[in-house]
Structure 1
């Protein structure tokens, strides 16, 4: 390990991120892609990824919450691309959203009146996407309330305080039958809105998996998060299957090596005892850094070029690897997951082995793990 190499590191391949997005844009053309960068771009770093996405051709971004969209806009990150937030709270600065032209997903009459009031106060126009609940029962106006909701939105548009930018929803991805039913609700809601005088610029309801697998549900725009990062979420489908490359590699440097005798217990509770004399390597990543305690006995880590198992309890700051009789030295790299080029597990394989989904694995990589960016544009 050189002096410039962080002890722990989450390496983000920006060239792979751009290539993934360019591939998806070409595949879905002419449907537009809204890149999801919520939770600091799934912990990859939104400040860095947004400009790379713009370079790849993305012109819409979703942050879910309003505050991150306002921050990115104030910093000028993303240029004139559109930012979309739809999980709004009563304390949100809707006036700033009007001033900074952030698109807002609106689910209730109260929210609609609040954004209209903010627009009047700023002598501006609120950019609004009307949200219809098609069965997920999170955000969204219930179909029974939809006519009154749309009628009021049209009146505010005619007043000049609201611009109807879109109608959107989500699918539950429970089953094909459920998603077909949701699509029918969405299509009916759009038709009813148009009959009431609402014309919108973007209709969108599909996210990463649905957008690729169901062209009939793409409408004008799809929301892509995980696929851009090379982590498809469809069961049994790998990044390679979709021509994508995982962008995140989690690794660290070995900080201690010990030779232990047969029968020696290691880490908390001695859940592992060495069956023979063996070498144990200490890796400074733990559950504070996003390494699940379920990783013990379930995954392999590539250390000094060889796949080796995690043994003993994963602690808050560290875990142990059984190296057997393989040579290992302090400073050797331990790769937990990455694109798979060196025999390491992919993030999808790691998620499967630890009983979760790859998005959760990425989001759990803790803040004390430095992000190292490779492949950026000149």
Structure 2
């Protein structure tokens, strides 16, 4: 090992999925695998999810769904991030359901000439303001979708939205708005196979938002969606460990072969540390390709090639990705997803 490597414990992901499925209370379980499964490896995580009983996957971009179909994945797939160049016909042919958030997306899907009728999920904005039809135009949005359905251009199969996860009361209010929007759409003639609103936080804390399907993302990878409870508090196991070797050690300092060019935080606060050959070593400076740490006085004999744990599950005294998020004033999602492509991934099951 000459530079940083990330190791993914697939059994930890299986454990987390099983624990979260129990909380889903019978709702269908969609595993979000956007951004290369939050940096954990798309195909490896999908195989793990299938073995754990996941019933569908959220892939963000339709190209990832097409890729999974080509790899033999047969369960339902859902993509919801579309640009002007999205090939909606190819997505429909690959049986990738499409989250629709704007009028132009409806029209583009209808005009795509898809040989297979595209299946669409209509999104209502319930307050997060991260896409979806605004409430004053929801009826118009649904009416247009149903008109296009009557022409055989698409099939309306679901309604969905996102929660803000800012507070329990705010999410309850959003769930109520969602239910009201669904009833309005039904009064206009919509017949939904699925309703989905809740993600990781709602699966754990808001059964009122479970509906027919829950979309579980970061919690499945062993990172808490909450600021006041860790993965350990929730009974979840961090799945990723980031390792790097010592490049050089002298004068009480060691340079570690990992930097912000690999995706770690460039300016963590003064509490940041790594574990070098079993010794806690405070971070002094993070550079693009290496990080300097201060070796403790009892860390004799550390030299080039010695192992360093950047983050992991904490079992060897190392920090977790959640702790790095605290140091970097961000969220754990960013720590694992932000690892760059130059960091190779390895995989195992315990």
Alignment partner of 2:295 out of 312, 318, 323: 323
Change (3 A) 1:102 1:320: same
Instruction: Give yes or no for contact 2:65–2:96 (8 Å, CA) kept in 1.
Output: yes
Please, which runs of 5 or more residues in structure 2 have no aligned partner?
none
- Whether 1:69 aligns to 2:65 is yes
Taking the TM superposition and a 5 Å limit, the aligned residue runs for 1:149-164 are: 149-164=141-156
Bigger Rg, structure 1 or 2: 1
Taking the TM superposition and a 5 Å limit, the aligned residue runs for 1:136-215 are: 136-215=128-207
Partner of 1:34: 30
> Can you list the C-alpha shifts for 1:158-208, whole angstroms capped at 9, x where unaligned?
444422221001111223333222112100011111112211111111111
Q: 2: distance between equivalents of 1:93 and 1:207?
A: 27
2:54 is paired with a residue whose SS is coil
Q: 2: distance between equivalents of 1:177 and 1:89?
A: 33
> Can you list the C-alpha shifts for 1:109-160, whole angstroms capped at 9, x where unaligned?
3322321232xx3332111101111112221111222222222323333444
Q: 1: distance between equivalents of 2:218 and 2:303?
A: 36
RMSD, aligned CA: 1.7
Could you tell me the TM-score, scaled by structure 2's length? 0.94
Alignment partner of 2:79 out of 85, 91, 111: 85
- Whether 1:346 aligns to 2:340 is no
> Can you list the C-alpha shifts for 1:6-58, whole angstroms capped at 9, x where unaligned?
53111110111111111211221311121111111111111221111111111
1:295 is paired with a residue whose SS is coil
Q: How many residues align?
A: 348
Instruction: Give yes or no for contact 1:9–1:369 (8 Å, CA) kept in 2.
Output: yes
Alignment partner of 1:285 out of 243, 258, 265: 258
1:247 positional shift: 0.2
1:148 is paired with a residue whose SS is helix
Q: 1: distance between equivalents of 2:2 and 2:203?
A: 38
Partner of 1:265: none
Instruction: Give yes or no for contact 2:244–2:309 (8 Å, CA) kept in 1.
Output: yes
Alignment partner of 1:225 out of 217, 224, 228: 217
1:345 is paired with a residue whose SS is coil
Partner of 1:133: 125
1:305 positional shift: 0.9
1:368 positional shift: 1.2
Q: 1: distance between equivalents of 2:143 and 2:296?
A: 71
Change (3 A) 1:7 1:110: closer
Alignment partner of 1:113 out of 107, 112, 117: 107
Q: 2: distance between equivalents of 1:374 and 1:243?
A: 20
- Whether 1:368 aligns to 2:342 is yes
Partner of 1:250: 242
Q: 2: distance between equivalents of 1:148 and 1:87?
A: 22
Instruction: Give yes or no for contact 1:87–1:139 (8 Å, CA) kept in 2.
Output: no
2:286 is paired with a residue whose SS is coil
1:363 positional shift: 1.6
Q: 2: distance between equivalents of 1:86 and 1:233?
A: 21
Q: 1: distance between equivalents of 2:311 and 2:143?
A: 51
1:296 positional shift: 6.0
Could you tell me the TM-score, scaled by structure 1's length? 0.88
Alignment partner of 1:101 out of 71, 95, 107: 95
Q: 2: distance between equivalents of 1:133 and 1:122?
A: 27
1:89 positional shift: 1.3
2:165 is paired with a residue whose SS is coil
Partner of 1:300: 273
Please, which runs of 5 or more residues in structure 1 have no aligned partner?
261-278
